[in-house]
Amino acid sequence: MILLAGPTGQGHAGVVAIVGTGLIGAATVEALSRRASFQLSELPLDWNEPVLQGRQLAAIEEAIAAEAAAAAAGGRRPVLDVLWSAGLAGFAASPEQTSRELASFCAVLASAVRLAGDPNLAGARFHLVSSAGGLFEGQRQVDGRSTPAPRRPYGDLKLEQERLLTASGLDGRVYRLSSVYGSARPGQRIGLIWMLLVNGIRHRVTAINGRMDTLRDFVLVDDVADFLAGAILDHDARPIGSPVLLAHGRPSSIWEVQKLVESVVAHRVYVSYSLAPENSEDTTFATTGLPPRWHPSDLASNVRRMYREAVQSGTAFSTVTR
Protein backbone atom coordinates (compact mmCIF):
# COMPACT_ATOMS: atom_id res chain seq x y z
CA MET A 1 0.00 0.00 0.00
CA ILE A 2 1.19 3.53 -0.80
CA LEU A 3 0.42 6.37 1.60
CA LEU A 4 0.58 9.92 0.23
CA ALA A 5 0.43 12.75 2.73
CA GLY A 6 0.92 16.48 2.74
CA PRO A 7 -0.65 19.75 1.70
CA THR A 8 -0.44 21.48 -1.62
CA GLY A 9 -1.33 21.46 -5.29
CA GLN A 10 -4.68 22.86 -6.31
CA GLY A 11 -5.61 23.63 -2.71
CA HIS A 12 -5.45 19.97 -1.72
CA ALA A 13 -4.64 19.12 1.87
CA GLY A 14 -5.19 15.50 2.63
CA VAL A 15 -4.03 11.95 3.02
CA VAL A 16 -4.41 9.38 0.24
CA ALA A 17 -4.10 5.63 0.75
CA ILE A 18 -3.64 3.61 -2.45
CA VAL A 19 -4.51 -0.02 -1.77
CA GLY A 20 -3.12 -2.09 -4.62
CA THR A 21 -0.11 -0.89 -6.60
CA GLY A 22 -0.55 -2.83 -9.81
CA LEU A 23 -1.14 -1.25 -13.21
CA ILE A 24 -3.92 1.12 -12.10
CA GLY A 25 -2.66 1.88 -8.59
CA ALA A 26 0.89 2.67 -9.69
CA ALA A 27 -0.34 4.92 -12.51
CA THR A 28 -2.64 6.77 -10.08
CA VAL A 29 0.25 7.41 -7.67
CA GLU A 30 2.18 8.96 -10.57
CA ALA A 31 -0.82 11.05 -11.66
CA LEU A 32 -1.34 12.35 -8.11
CA SER A 33 2.36 13.15 -7.72
CA ARG A 34 2.28 15.23 -10.91
CA ARG A 35 -0.57 17.35 -9.60
CA ALA A 36 0.37 17.83 -5.94
CA SER A 37 3.37 17.58 -3.63
CA PHE A 38 3.06 14.53 -1.42
CA GLN A 39 5.33 12.64 0.91
CA LEU A 40 5.17 9.00 -0.20
CA SER A 41 5.63 5.99 2.05
CA GLU A 42 5.12 2.31 1.30
CA LEU A 43 3.45 0.19 3.96
CA PRO A 44 3.24 -3.62 3.75
CA LEU A 45 -0.17 -5.26 3.36
CA ASP A 46 -0.33 -9.04 3.00
CA TRP A 47 -3.09 -10.66 0.92
CA ASN A 48 -2.65 -14.26 2.06
CA GLU A 49 -2.35 -14.27 5.88
CA PRO A 50 -5.41 -12.74 7.62
CA VAL A 51 -3.70 -12.47 11.03
CA LEU A 52 -0.67 -10.70 9.59
CA GLN A 53 -2.95 -8.53 7.46
CA GLY A 54 -4.86 -7.48 10.57
CA ARG A 55 -1.67 -6.34 12.30
CA GLN A 56 -0.55 -4.47 9.19
CA LEU A 57 -3.90 -2.71 8.85
CA ALA A 58 -3.66 -1.62 12.49
CA ALA A 59 -0.23 -0.14 11.75
CA ILE A 60 -1.63 1.61 8.67
CA GLU A 61 -4.46 3.09 10.73
CA GLU A 62 -1.93 4.37 13.26
CA ALA A 63 0.15 5.96 10.50
CA ILE A 64 -2.88 7.73 9.02
CA ALA A 65 -4.07 8.86 12.45
CA ALA A 66 -0.59 10.26 13.14
CA GLU A 67 -0.65 12.22 9.87
CA ALA A 68 -4.08 13.61 10.77
CA ALA A 69 -2.93 14.59 14.27
CA ALA A 70 0.17 16.33 12.91
CA ALA A 71 -1.96 18.25 10.43
CA ALA A 72 -4.44 19.21 13.16
CA ALA A 73 -1.58 20.54 15.29
CA GLY A 74 -0.71 22.78 12.34
CA GLY A 75 -4.22 24.17 12.20
CA ARG A 76 -5.75 22.08 9.40
CA ARG A 77 -7.91 18.97 9.22
CA PRO A 78 -7.04 16.78 6.21
CA VAL A 79 -9.44 14.68 4.17
CA LEU A 80 -8.71 10.96 3.85
CA ASP A 81 -9.14 9.32 0.45
CA VAL A 82 -8.81 5.54 0.18
CA LEU A 83 -8.49 4.07 -3.32
CA TRP A 84 -9.10 0.34 -3.70
CA SER A 85 -7.31 -0.68 -6.89
CA ALA A 86 -6.19 -4.07 -5.59
CA GLY A 87 -7.01 -7.42 -7.10
CA LEU A 88 -5.13 -10.67 -7.37
CA ALA A 89 -8.27 -12.34 -8.69
CA GLY A 90 -8.56 -12.12 -12.47
CA PHE A 91 -11.51 -12.50 -14.83
CA ALA A 92 -11.32 -16.30 -14.67
CA ALA A 93 -10.86 -16.49 -10.88
CA SER A 94 -12.43 -19.34 -8.93
CA PRO A 95 -14.98 -18.83 -6.11
CA GLU A 96 -12.22 -19.64 -3.61
CA GLN A 97 -9.98 -16.89 -5.01
CA THR A 98 -12.73 -14.28 -5.08
CA SER A 99 -13.78 -15.23 -1.55
CA ARG A 100 -10.27 -14.51 -0.25
CA GLU A 101 -10.19 -11.21 -2.08
CA LEU A 102 -13.58 -10.21 -0.70
CA ALA A 103 -12.31 -10.89 2.84
CA SER A 104 -9.35 -8.55 2.24
CA PHE A 105 -11.67 -5.89 0.83
CA CYS A 106 -13.92 -6.14 3.89
CA ALA A 107 -10.92 -5.73 6.20
CA VAL A 108 -9.73 -2.59 4.37
CA LEU A 109 -13.27 -1.18 4.24
CA ALA A 110 -13.65 -1.70 7.99
CA SER A 111 -10.39 0.19 8.55
CA ALA A 112 -11.68 3.08 6.46
CA VAL A 113 -14.91 3.17 8.48
CA ARG A 114 -12.93 3.35 11.72
CA LEU A 115 -10.68 6.10 10.38
CA ALA A 116 -13.69 8.11 9.21
CA GLY A 117 -14.51 8.68 12.88
CA ASP A 118 -11.13 10.31 13.62
CA PRO A 119 -11.88 13.84 14.89
CA ASN A 120 -8.66 15.13 13.30
CA LEU A 121 -9.97 14.26 9.83
CA ALA A 122 -12.33 16.53 7.90
CA GLY A 123 -13.89 13.52 6.20
CA ALA A 124 -13.16 10.24 4.47
CA ARG A 125 -13.98 8.95 0.99
CA PHE A 126 -13.59 5.48 -0.43
CA HIS A 127 -12.89 5.11 -4.16
CA LEU A 128 -13.59 1.63 -5.52
CA VAL A 129 -12.17 0.47 -8.86
CA SER A 130 -14.77 -1.95 -10.17
CA SER A 131 -15.12 -3.85 -13.47
CA ALA A 132 -17.56 -2.95 -16.23
CA GLY A 133 -16.53 -6.07 -18.12
CA GLY A 134 -17.20 -8.30 -15.13
CA LEU A 135 -20.58 -6.74 -14.39
CA PHE A 136 -21.88 -6.48 -17.96
CA GLU A 137 -20.24 -9.43 -19.71
CA GLY A 138 -21.98 -10.20 -22.99
CA GLN A 139 -24.05 -6.98 -23.00
CA ARG A 140 -23.90 -4.40 -25.79
CA GLN A 141 -24.20 -0.61 -25.68
CA VAL A 142 -24.07 -0.54 -21.89
CA ASP A 143 -24.96 2.83 -20.35
CA GLY A 144 -26.13 4.24 -17.03
CA ARG A 145 -29.49 2.48 -17.31
CA SER A 146 -28.04 -0.99 -17.86
CA THR A 147 -28.43 -3.59 -15.12
CA PRO A 148 -25.37 -5.55 -13.94
CA ALA A 149 -25.67 -9.27 -14.65
CA PRO A 150 -22.42 -11.04 -13.65
CA ARG A 151 -21.77 -14.41 -15.26
CA ARG A 152 -18.81 -15.59 -13.22
CA PRO A 153 -17.38 -15.30 -9.69
CA TYR A 154 -15.23 -12.31 -10.63
CA GLY A 155 -18.30 -10.25 -11.57
CA ASP A 156 -20.11 -11.40 -8.42
CA LEU A 157 -17.11 -10.20 -6.41
CA LYS A 158 -17.19 -6.72 -7.94
CA LEU A 159 -20.93 -6.36 -7.45
CA GLU A 160 -20.64 -7.43 -3.82
CA GLN A 161 -17.81 -4.95 -3.23
CA GLU A 162 -20.02 -2.19 -4.60
CA ARG A 163 -22.90 -3.31 -2.35
CA LEU A 164 -20.72 -3.43 0.75
CA LEU A 165 -19.32 0.03 0.06
CA THR A 166 -22.84 1.45 -0.25
CA ALA A 167 -23.89 -0.26 2.99
CA SER A 168 -20.83 1.02 4.88
CA GLY A 169 -22.15 4.56 5.12
CA LEU A 170 -18.91 6.02 3.77
CA ASP A 171 -18.79 8.61 1.02
CA GLY A 172 -18.26 5.97 -1.66
CA ARG A 173 -17.22 6.48 -5.27
CA VAL A 174 -17.42 3.56 -7.73
CA TYR A 175 -15.61 3.52 -11.08
CA ARG A 176 -16.56 0.74 -13.48
CA LEU A 177 -13.70 0.23 -15.92
CA SER A 178 -13.75 -1.53 -19.28
CA SER A 179 -10.61 -3.35 -20.53
CA VAL A 180 -7.62 -1.38 -19.22
CA TYR A 181 -4.35 -1.50 -21.14
CA GLY A 182 -0.94 0.04 -20.67
CA SER A 183 2.77 -0.69 -20.35
CA ALA A 184 2.97 -3.30 -17.60
CA ARG A 185 5.93 -3.48 -15.25
CA PRO A 186 7.35 -6.74 -13.89
CA GLY A 187 4.92 -8.26 -11.41
CA GLN A 188 1.88 -6.43 -12.82
CA ARG A 189 -0.98 -8.12 -14.63
CA ILE A 190 -0.40 -8.25 -18.38
CA GLY A 191 -3.30 -7.24 -20.62
CA LEU A 192 -4.02 -8.38 -24.15
CA ILE A 193 -2.57 -5.36 -25.94
CA TRP A 194 0.71 -5.27 -24.00
CA MET A 195 1.04 -9.03 -24.35
CA LEU A 196 0.51 -8.86 -28.13
CA LEU A 197 2.93 -5.96 -28.46
CA VAL A 198 5.76 -7.44 -26.39
CA ASN A 199 5.37 -10.95 -27.80
CA GLY A 200 5.29 -9.39 -31.28
CA ILE A 201 8.59 -7.63 -30.62
CA ARG A 202 10.08 -10.88 -29.31
CA HIS A 203 8.52 -13.04 -32.08
CA ARG A 204 6.66 -15.17 -29.56
CA VAL A 205 3.18 -16.71 -29.74
CA THR A 206 0.32 -15.04 -27.87
CA ALA A 207 -2.46 -17.36 -26.70
CA ILE A 208 -5.85 -15.62 -26.94
CA ASN A 209 -8.95 -16.83 -25.13
CA GLY A 210 -11.50 -15.39 -27.53
CA ARG A 211 -12.55 -15.19 -31.18
CA MET A 212 -11.01 -12.94 -33.82
CA ASP A 213 -14.28 -10.99 -34.05
CA THR A 214 -14.84 -10.67 -30.29
CA LEU A 215 -15.51 -7.00 -29.47
CA ARG A 216 -13.85 -5.31 -26.51
CA ASP A 217 -13.66 -1.74 -25.25
CA PHE A 218 -10.10 -0.65 -24.40
CA VAL A 219 -9.09 2.29 -22.18
CA LEU A 220 -5.55 3.49 -21.45
CA VAL A 221 -4.44 3.19 -17.82
CA ASP A 222 -3.01 6.74 -17.91
CA ASP A 223 -6.44 8.12 -18.82
CA VAL A 224 -8.01 6.18 -15.95
CA ALA A 225 -5.30 7.34 -13.53
CA ASP A 226 -5.75 10.99 -14.51
CA PHE A 227 -9.49 10.74 -13.93
CA LEU A 228 -9.03 9.05 -10.53
CA ALA A 229 -6.43 11.62 -9.47
CA GLY A 230 -8.82 14.41 -10.40
CA ALA A 231 -11.64 12.81 -8.41
CA ILE A 232 -9.38 12.42 -5.36
CA LEU A 233 -7.98 15.95 -5.43
CA ASP A 234 -11.35 17.64 -6.01
CA HIS A 235 -12.64 17.75 -2.45
CA ASP A 236 -15.32 20.27 -3.39
CA ALA A 237 -17.04 17.84 -5.72
CA ARG A 238 -20.47 16.66 -4.66
CA PRO A 239 -20.76 12.98 -3.74
CA ILE A 240 -21.26 10.69 -6.70
CA GLY A 241 -24.64 9.02 -6.33
CA SER A 242 -24.17 6.28 -8.93
CA PRO A 243 -21.23 4.34 -10.39
CA VAL A 244 -19.13 6.07 -13.04
CA LEU A 245 -18.49 4.19 -16.28
CA LEU A 246 -14.97 4.64 -17.68
CA ALA A 247 -14.94 3.14 -21.16
CA HIS A 248 -13.92 4.31 -24.61
CA GLY A 249 -17.32 3.97 -26.26
CA ARG A 250 -15.78 2.60 -29.44
CA PRO A 251 -15.26 -1.18 -29.44
CA SER A 252 -12.42 -2.93 -31.25
CA SER A 253 -12.30 -6.55 -32.34
CA ILE A 254 -9.36 -8.70 -31.29
CA TRP A 255 -8.51 -9.00 -34.99
CA GLU A 256 -8.34 -5.18 -35.27
CA VAL A 257 -6.01 -5.02 -32.29
CA GLN A 258 -3.82 -7.75 -33.78
CA LYS A 259 -3.57 -5.88 -37.09
CA LEU A 260 -2.80 -2.61 -35.28
CA VAL A 261 0.06 -4.26 -33.39
CA GLU A 262 1.36 -5.79 -36.64
CA SER A 263 1.40 -2.34 -38.27
CA VAL A 264 3.42 -0.98 -35.33
CA VAL A 265 6.00 -3.79 -35.08
CA ALA A 266 6.16 -3.98 -38.91
CA HIS A 267 5.70 -7.74 -39.21
CA ARG A 268 3.14 -10.48 -38.60
CA VAL A 269 2.55 -11.49 -34.99
CA TYR A 270 1.98 -15.08 -33.93
CA VAL A 271 -1.32 -15.82 -32.21
CA SER A 272 -3.11 -18.94 -31.04
CA TYR A 273 -6.88 -18.75 -30.63
CA SER A 274 -8.62 -21.15 -28.24
CA LEU A 275 -10.97 -23.68 -29.89
CA ALA A 276 -13.32 -23.35 -26.91
CA PRO A 277 -12.91 -19.74 -25.74
CA GLU A 278 -14.39 -18.95 -22.32
CA ASN A 279 -14.24 -15.20 -22.83
CA SER A 280 -15.53 -14.73 -26.36
CA GLU A 281 -18.75 -12.72 -26.03
CA ASP A 282 -18.94 -9.08 -27.12
CA THR A 283 -19.09 -6.42 -24.41
CA THR A 284 -19.55 -2.84 -25.62
CA PHE A 285 -20.44 0.53 -24.09
CA ALA A 286 -22.41 3.54 -25.28
CA THR A 287 -20.83 6.99 -25.23
CA THR A 288 -24.02 8.33 -23.62
CA GLY A 289 -23.09 6.52 -20.41
CA LEU A 290 -19.69 8.21 -20.01
CA PRO A 291 -19.02 11.11 -17.58
CA PRO A 292 -18.46 14.64 -18.93
CA ARG A 293 -14.88 15.03 -17.62
CA TRP A 294 -13.77 11.74 -19.18
CA HIS A 295 -11.79 12.01 -22.42
CA PRO A 296 -10.26 8.65 -23.49
CA SER A 297 -7.29 8.86 -25.84
CA ASP A 298 -6.72 7.21 -29.22
CA LEU A 299 -5.86 3.50 -29.24
CA ALA A 300 -3.60 3.56 -32.30
CA SER A 301 -1.53 6.51 -31.04
CA ASN A 302 -1.16 4.90 -27.63
CA VAL A 303 0.03 1.56 -29.04
CA ARG A 304 2.67 3.36 -31.12
CA ARG A 305 3.87 5.22 -28.03
CA MET A 306 3.93 2.03 -25.96
CA TYR A 307 6.03 0.36 -28.67
CA ARG A 308 8.58 3.18 -28.66
CA GLU A 309 8.81 3.14 -24.87
CA ALA A 310 9.13 -0.65 -24.74
CA VAL A 311 11.98 -0.70 -27.24
CA GLN A 312 13.86 2.36 -25.98
CA SER A 313 13.69 1.31 -22.32
CA GLY A 314 14.41 -2.36 -23.01
CA THR A 315 11.22 -3.34 -21.12
CA ALA A 316 10.06 -5.49 -24.03
CA PHE A 317 13.09 -7.68 -23.63
CA SER A 318 12.93 -8.12 -19.86
CA THR A 319 9.21 -8.53 -19.16
CA VAL A 320 8.03 -12.10 -18.76
CA THR A 321 4.88 -12.69 -20.80
CA ARG A 322 2.49 -15.57 -20.89
At 53-88, the pLDDT tens digits run 999 999 999 999 999 999 889 888 999 999 999 988
Query: For 133-189, how does the pLDDT look when each residue is reduced to its tens digit (9 = 90+)?
Result: 999 999 999 999 999 999 999 999 999 999 999 999 999 999 999 999 999 877 788
- Mean pLDDT (the chain, rounded): 91
- Average pLDDT, stretch 184-213? 89
Cα–Cα–Cα angle for 302, 10, 32, rounded to 5 degrees = 40
Of the candidates 141, 299, 282, 140, which has an alpha carbon nearest to the alpha carbon of residue 212?
Answer: 282
| Integer Cα distance of 85 and 176 in angstroms | 11
| Integer Cα distance of 295 and 171 in angstroms | 25
Query: For 83-120, how does the pLDDT look when each residue is reduced to its tens digit (9 = 90+)?
Result: 999 988 888 899 999 999 999 999 999 999 999 999 99
All structural domains of the chain, each given as residue ranges with its CATH number in brackets, are: 2-185+218-249+282-297 (3.40.50.720)
Of the candidates 157, 164, 148, which has an alpha carbon nearest to the alpha carbon of residue 94?
Answer: 157
- Specify the pLDDT at position 321: 45
pTM (whole model) above 0.85: yes
